[in-house]
Amino acid sequence: MEIEIWTEKYRPKDFDEVVGQDEIVARLKEMTKSKNIPHLLFAGPPGTGKTTLALIIAKKLFKDRWKENLLELNASDERGIDTIRTKVKDFARTKPIGEVPFKIILLDEADALTRDAQQALRRTMENFTSTARFILSCNYSSKIIEPIQSRCAIFRFKPLSKEAIKKYLARIAEAEKLKLSDEALEALYEVSEGDARKAVNTLQACASLSSKINEDIVYEVAGYAKPKEIMEVLKLSLDGKFEEAKKNMISTMIKYGISGIDAIKMIQRNVMNLNLPDEIKIKLLETIGEYEFRIVEGADEFLQIEALLAQFYLIGRSLKR
């Protein structure tokens, strides 16, 4: 039996089912209702509803004929100028099927398009406005050239709030007959960082282990250290127990399979929860940034994590003085 992927199975089918982007949904709903849609640029983090809303627009406009009137391309796979000159242009120049006077071309991950491809796209958008509307989805709008941005209505998506993620996951848990504890919901939000797709994928992985899901299962599946474990390491290093802090941190990284960059992010997130003066937190964050840069540049991650904890130890000693 084929196992359904929950991100597709529970993808919202209507505007009212989309969570966490109320203002954007309201504007797009009115545009779709009036069939007065300009070229659109959706920008924001992954898993926040960009592709979902583009598909909802197509389904609402074209009803049962939406597949014939929608060309969906993932620009990270097909991002050269030839794609724009052939696939996109050939689709854009033909008339739509049905009453709506235009087709929709969805370019997912449009910020991966080369600059030459974007210049070609700019001309295509100008020449075929009467028969096609473009929806460009990207993580970074700054990577889209200005001439394209000026031709689009720009919608900036934000990471989903804790309440929005919980509401979405609770709906899935009810449909799948799962028992989700409040701690598990908190953990799912923590590991997802506002990314609904990541949260749902993690939930599905947890459900394959047990129908009763707690925070331990979530962190185990996600390969994510519990916040209290990271807090314990930070407190040990700041209290002058460097050897113990180092040992705990390295064992935690190995236990959960955490990379150096992931460890740095977890440390940074938990620093803000320490009961310390703001000046000390600022100094700690500055230090974290330095060691994150070193790891990105290729330095040994375990060595750099140890060095970071050593700096925390020294900052802790200066605080006691």
Which of 146, 157, 139, 118 lies closest to 23, judged by CA? 157
* pLDDT surpasses 80 at 83: no
Residue 9 pLDDT? 87
Q: Which pLDDT value is given to residue 77?
A: 60
Residues 214-236: pLDDT tens digits?
A: 888 988 888 888 888 999 999 99
Q: Are 79 and 114 in contact (CB under 8 A)?
A: yes
Mean per-residue pLDDT, 15-42: 91
pLDDT over 70 at 321, yes or no: no
In this structure, CATH architecture of domain 21-156: 3-Layer(aba) Sandwich (3.40)
CATH 1.10.8.60 domain range(s) in the chain: 162-222
| pLDDT value of position 3 | 65
Q: Where in the chain is the domain with CATH 3.40.50.300?
A: 21-156
**How many alpha carbons fall within 13 Å on the CB side of residue 189?**
18
- What is the rounded average pLDDT of the residues 20-43? 91
CATH 1.20.272.10 residue ranges of the chain are 227-320
267 pLDDT exceeds 70? yes
Q: pLDDT digit string (tens) for 269-319?
A: 889 888 888 889 999 999 999 999 999 999 999 999 999 999 999 998 887
Predicted pLDDT of residue 96: 83
- Residue-wise pLDDT for 90-141, tens only, equals 888 888 888 888 999 998 888 888 888 888 888 888 888 888 899 999 998 8
Mean pLDDT of 167-179: 90
For position 39, what pLDDT does the model report?
A: 92
CATH number of 227-320: 1.20.272.10
The mean pLDDT of the chain is 88
Single-letter amino acid code for the residue at 24:
I
pLDDT above 90: percentage of residues in the chain: 42
Q: What is the CATH number of domain 162-222?
A: 1.10.8.60
Antiparallel, parallel or unpaired: β 179-180 and 152-156: unpaired
Q: Residue 243: what pLDDT?
A: 92
The answer, yes or no, to whether residue 1 has pLDDT greater than 60, is: no
Q: Rounded to whole angstroms, how far apart are CA atoms 28 and 56?
A: 10
| Res. 75: pLDDT tops 70 | no
- Buried b / exposed e over 181-210, threshold 16 CB at 10 Å, is eeebbbbbbbbbbbbbbbbbbbbbebbeee
* Over residues 179-202, mean pLDDT: 90
The structure tokens listed for 253 are 């990284």
What pLDDT is attached to residue 78?
Answer: 61
